[in-house]
Amino acid sequence: MISAMIHGFILAFGLILPLGVQNVFVFNQGATQPKFRRALPVIFTASLCDTLLISLAILGISVIVLGVYWIKVVLLTVGILFLAYMGYVTWKSKPKTNFSEDKALTPKKQIAFAASVSLLNPHAIMDTIGVIGTSSISYIGVEKIGFTLACIITSWIWFFSLALAGRVVGRLNNSRGFIAILNKVSALIMWGTAIYLFISLIK
């Protein structure tokens, strides 16, 4: 079971580490919210969405998603349109000169955006289902449970750490300039992902 958990930890960490839409959004909220506790909605939402995707992947939903062509087409199309729109909104957004509560994203908006970038990101879904789902096939019983828990726990620890890192950076004197750059980078990542998905769709 220990080896299965180590495998799950390394695999989940490797998948979640790259700078993507979900990671940038969580980091950004940690940096812009006036208090760390006000970033909890985005942390919990991102973590719960990952927990859902990991659980579905290991339960075998990957066979359905990866096996039915029209499901993949719909998923990719929705994801492309969403990422293109979110990229535009993020590019146009301007960092605040202060961190007053009335200018920060409300909990409802945090939850909505976090759920969107988590569940409407086909690239992340395919990674989770294709890699974690496929890797879990080699385990049964207690080992599969250990593998699953390791993947989920890694996700939760990562998002808490990411938001905390964002908060530390957000408190720096030059944070406004950093967040402005972060927004631009985030938008470019979203557009780049959308283009990549579009190319994979028309192939």
Q: What is the pLDDT of residues 102-144, one digit of tens each?
A: 456 788 888 988 888 888 776 677 767 767 776 787 788 888 8
Per the domain annotation, does 32 fall within a domain?
Answer: no
pLDDT of residue 173 exceeding 60, the answer is no
- Find the domain containing 114 and state its range: 2-27+37-202
Sign for the CA dihedral angle at 11, 17, 20, 22 comes to positive
Residue 102: the pLDDT is: 40
> What is the C-alpha R_g of the chain?
17
Residue 41: the pLDDT is: 94
Extract the runs of DSSP E, i.e. beta strands, from the chain. Answer: none
- What b/e sequence results for 91-113 when a residue is b if at least 16 CB atoms lie within 10 Å of its CB, and e otherwise? eebebeeebeeeebbeeeebbeb
Per the domain annotation, does 172 fall within a domain?
Answer: yes
pLDDT of residue 77 exceeding 60, the answer is yes
The mean pLDDT value of the chain amounts to 78
Q: What is the pTM of this model?
A: 0.72
